[in-house]
Structure 1
Amino acid sequence: MIFDSHVHTEFSTDSQLKIESALEAAKKLKLGIISTDHIDLNYPEKGKFIFDIDNYFNKYYKYRGDNYLIGVEIGMTEEYSDENRKINENYDFDYVIGSIHFVDGIDIYEKIYYKGKEKSSTYRRYFQAMINCIKTHEYVDSLAHIDYICRYATYEDSEIYYNEYAELIDEVLKFIIDKGIALEINSRRLDKAYIIKNLIPIYKRYREMGGNFVTIGSDAHYDKNIGMNIKEAFSIAEECNLRTVYYKNRKPEYM
Structure 2
Amino acid sequence: MVDSHIHTEFSSDSEMKLQHGIEHGTKLDIGMTITEHLDLKFPTGTDFTFDIDKYFKDYEKYKSSKLMLGIEIGMQLNCIEENREIINKYPFDYVIGSIHAADGEDIFNPKSYEGKSKSEFFEQYFSSMVDCVKKYDFIDSLGHIDYISRYATYKDNEINYLEFKEYIDEVLKALVHNGKVMEINTRRLKNVEAYKNLVQVYSAYKQIGGKYVTIGSDAHYAEDIGNNFTVASRICQVCDLKPVYFKNRKMEFI
User: Aligning the two structures, in what range does the TM-score lie when normalised by the shorter sequence?
Assistant: over 0.9
Question: Cα offset for 1:254?
Answer: 0.8
Tell me which residue corresponds to 1:160. Answer: 159
What CA distance in whole angstroms lies between the structure 1 residues aligned with 2:133 and 2:181?
12
Q: Which amino acid aligns with 1:35?
A: I
Task: Tell me if the contact between 2:69 and 2:92 (Cα under 8 Å) persists in the aligned partners.
Answer: yes
What CA distance in whole angstroms lies between the structure 1 residues aligned with 2:90 and 2:37?
15
Q: How does 1:7-26 map to 2 (within 5 A)?
A: 7-26=6-25
What CA distance in whole angstroms lies between the structure 2 residues aligned with 1:105 and 1:196?
29
SS at match of 2:154: coil
Tell me which residue corresponds to 1:193. Answer: 192
Question: Cα offset for 1:178?
Answer: 1.1
Residues 118 and 45 of structure 1, relative CA distance in 2, 3 Å threshold: closer
Q: Which amino acid aligns with 1:217?
A: G
Task: Tell me if the contact between 2:158 and 2:193 (Cα under 8 Å) persists in the aligned partners.
Answer: no
SS at match of 1:159: coil
Tell me which residue corresponds to 2:133. Answer: 134
Q: Which amino acid aligns with 2:30?
A: L
SS at match of 1:89: helix
TM-score normalized by the length of structure 2? 0.98
Q: How does 1:1-255 map to 2 (within 5 A)?
A: 2-44=1-43, 48-255=47-254
What CA distance in whole angstroms lies between the structure 2 residues aligned with 1:171 and 1:82?
23
SS at match of 1:214: strand
SS at match of 2:135: coil
What CA distance in whole angstroms lies between the structure 2 residues aligned with 1:46 and 1:59?
27
TM-score normalized by the length of structure 1? 0.97
SS at match of 2:32: strand
Question: Cα offset for 1:44?
Answer: 4.6
SS at match of 1:69: strand
Q: Which amino acid aligns with 2:130?
A: I
Q: CA RMSD in A?
A: 1.0
What CA distance in whole angstroms lies between the structure 2 residues aligned with 1:46 and 1:164?
32
SS at match of 1:138: coil
Q: How many residues align?
A: 254
SS at match of 2:92: coil
SS at match of 2:22: helix
Q: Which amino acid aligns with 2:230?
A: K
Dislocated runs of 4+, deviation >4 Å: 44-47
SS at match of 1:162: coil
SS at match of 2:11: coil
SS at match of 1:164: coil
5+ residue gaps, structure 2: none
What CA distance in whole angstroms lies between the structure 2 residues aligned with 1:45 and 1:191?
31
Question: Cα offset for 1:134?
Answer: 1.4
